[in-house]
Amino acid sequence: MFSEEKRLANIGQPIKEAPPGVFHSANIITAKNWPDPLRGYAYDSYNKDALLHFSKVENGEIDLKGGAKYKLLVIPGDRKMSPNAGWMSVEVARKLKEMVEDGATLLVSQKPHSSLSLNKHKTADEEINQIVNLIWNNKDEKKNPNFNSWKVGKGTVVQTPFKANSFDALGIEKDFVATDIAGKTAAGIAWTHRAAPGLDIYFISNQQNKERELNVSLRVDGREPELWDAVTGETKTAKTWQFKKGRTRLPVKLAANGSLFIVMQKPVKMQSSARGKNWMETTTVKNIEGPWNVSFDAKLGGPAHPVIFKTLIDWSKQVDSSIRFYSGTATYTKTFTWDNTKIKKEKIWLNIGKVANIAKVIINGVDCGIAWTDPFRVDITKALREGENKLIIEVTNTWANRLTGDQRLPEDERITSTNAPYRLKGQSLLEAGLIGPVTIEIPKKIN
């Protein structure tokens, strides 16, 4: 009883609180450990049913009926959630023998010693031992300082521990590699790869809240890389890339928390291209500065009348509590002049700098779109006109600051209600509103 009370109280265990109010073991896997866990290799986990009924080996690869192909099958050893690696069903053992004899590569841990069968278990145990003695024959036919391996039929069995940094020695190159401009492995890049006849699609995602310039290497060549913007849907052919040793290498730039599709479908004979940068760069041609007329929703606790902001400022930094704790939509309005005589046949963007959390831009009554992620900009080419222009930016934040403000009020004066505890005690207010700067940009001319 005492030991169970101690366990439930987590006595002696390192504890972590994330998100606020939720406690768990400090060494539990968290989201920051998820991007690219195998450092350039993709993986899946599948169950006994998929192994027995949907898996076959063709040309040394494990082929599933749904189209997925795998170059390596890992048979894990004891784990905390599955501590019985010493037991294996006869059906699974037979399938593993069939697959490795047909040419599969298996990475195995400890050797099973018993069957899971309760029916004629002695006979089943004998068959298990015959099969595993064939698979786990431990004859090191391929000398390597990082692992032991041996041939079984057309296939290969590799014994853990596997100490190499890649599976290159098994003939399996990394599918995706990203390095920073200094040549170091880029941390915090998530990715996935899908393939079809004549088509490869890589999706890469920046998991850090900062702009990143990367060099990526993909395990495919012979087709021209196209860059598809995951936010705007715009597509363009990469200007700079290189085929080398069966791989495609190219530089890319990802916005803070940004993502990109690299699509390869058009065959090309040339081995490289160097026609410029693979991303657009802009130059600022006008700064739009205060004062701003800002209207809040009084029903949501905001000021009853419009407020003049001489400069753009985070709502949570305002002295006025009706703004500091405001959650909802506020409308920023101002007029500015535009001289279009020197800018012709150019695409023009409004960049609103930093916003918490989402903004809709309207110019001269024309809806120019919503900015919700870096870079916070919208195309205003068709909305701009010569001379005076009316700009409206509708900004909406989350409800966290209003909840924090309501905790300070009597219940009958609160604006929000929830059926769960706020768990915001001691938490800082979140950034809110249009923080800027607001600028007009055009594509930078490359000399």
Tokens standing for residue 361: 């831009």
57 plus 140 within the same structural domain: yes
Least confident of 68-77, 208-217, 245-254, 300-309: 68-77
Residue 407 has pLDDT above 50, yes or no: yes
Tokens standing for residue 363: 């110019």
293 plus 379 within the same structural domain: yes
Domain residue limits at 369: 284-418+427-443
296 plus 439 within the same structural domain: yes
Average pLDDT, the chain: 89
- What phi and psi, each to the nearest 5 degrees, are found at residue 40? 110, -5
Specify the pTM.
Answer: 0.85
Last residue of a domain, one of 169, 191, 223: 169
Pair 405, 301: CB distance under 8 Å: yes
201 plus 61 within the same structural domain: no
pLDDT of residue 12: 61
With tokens 């060494």, the residue in question is 27
Mean pLDDT of the region 158-170? 91
**Count of domains for the chain:** 3
106 plus 123 within the same structural domain: yes
14 plus 136 within the same structural domain: yes
Least confident of 108-112, 263-267, 299-303, 384-388: 108-112
Q: What is the number of residues in the chain?
A: 447
Residue 388 has pLDDT above 50, yes or no: yes
Element (H, E) at 91: helix 90-101
pLDDT band at 447 (very low <50, low <70, confident <90, very high): very low
HEC readout, 153-197 = CCEEEEECCCCCCCCHHHCCCCCEEEEECCCCECCCEEEEEEEEC
Mean pLDDT of the region 106-131? 83
CB-based contacts of 8, cutoff 8 Å, min separation 6: none
Least confident of 282-296, 342-356, 383-397: 342-356
148 plus 182 within the same structural domain: no
Residue 390 has pLDDT above 90, yes or no: yes
Percent of the chain with pLDDT over 70: 91
Residue 341 has pLDDT above 80, yes or no: no
Mean pLDDT of the region 192-213? 95
Pair 392, 361: CB distance under 8 Å: yes
pLDDT band at 201 (very low <50, low <70, confident <90, very high): very high
pLDDT of residue 429: 94
Tokens standing for residue 145: 């300082």
229 plus 350 within the same structural domain: no
CATH number of the domain encompassing residue 216: 2.60.40.1180
Mean pLDDT of the region 433-441? 96
289 plus 144 within the same structural domain: no
Nearest to residue 349, comparing CAs of 363, 334, 332?
363
Instruction: Pick 118 or 416 by higher pLDDT.
Output: 416
pLDDT of residue 277: 94
pLDDT of residue 8: 62
